[in-house]
């Protein structure tokens, strides 16, 4: 079992740096949201995971071409959360 509070702490620290350093729709912000979502998913907090995965998807849809592999990553993560919720 992981140390989820530490994982969230460091993911959120990284995200704050990205927010200050990058434009609002930068793909690295999406990756950061995805990482936070992954921690919440691992914790079993699926609604929170979904919230962060959807934030990542919104950025990726704006910043990347429609056939970019990172979009597939977002769709997969969201699908896995819905699967875990059922």
- The CATH number of the domain holding residue 65 is 1.25.40
Q: What is the tally of structural domains in the chain?
A: 1
Full residue range of the structural domain in which residue 81 is found? 26-85
Distances (CA, A) of 45 to 18, 84, 86: 24, 10, 13
Query: pLDDT-based confidence at 42, cuts 50/70/90?
Result: very high
Assess if residue 18 is contained within a domain. no
Assess if residue 12 is contained within a domain. no
Q: Is the pLDDT of residue 86 over 90?
A: no
Average pLDDT over residues 66-81: 97
pLDDT tens-place string over residues 23-34: 999 999 999 999
Average pLDDT over residues 31-45: 97
Q: Is the pLDDT of residue 1 over 70?
A: no
pLDDT the model gives residue 2: 78
């Amino acid at each position: 079992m992981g140390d989820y509070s530490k994982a969230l702490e460091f993911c959120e620290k990284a995200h704050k740096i990205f927010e200050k350093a990058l434009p609002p729709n930068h793909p690295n912000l999406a990756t950061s949201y995805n990482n936070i979502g992954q921690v919440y998913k691992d914790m079993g907090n699926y609604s929170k995971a979904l919230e962060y995965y959807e934030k990542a998807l919104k950025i990726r849809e704006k910043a990347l071409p429609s056939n970019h592999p990172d979009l597939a990553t977002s769709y997969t993560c969201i699908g896995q959360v819905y699967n875990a919720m059922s």
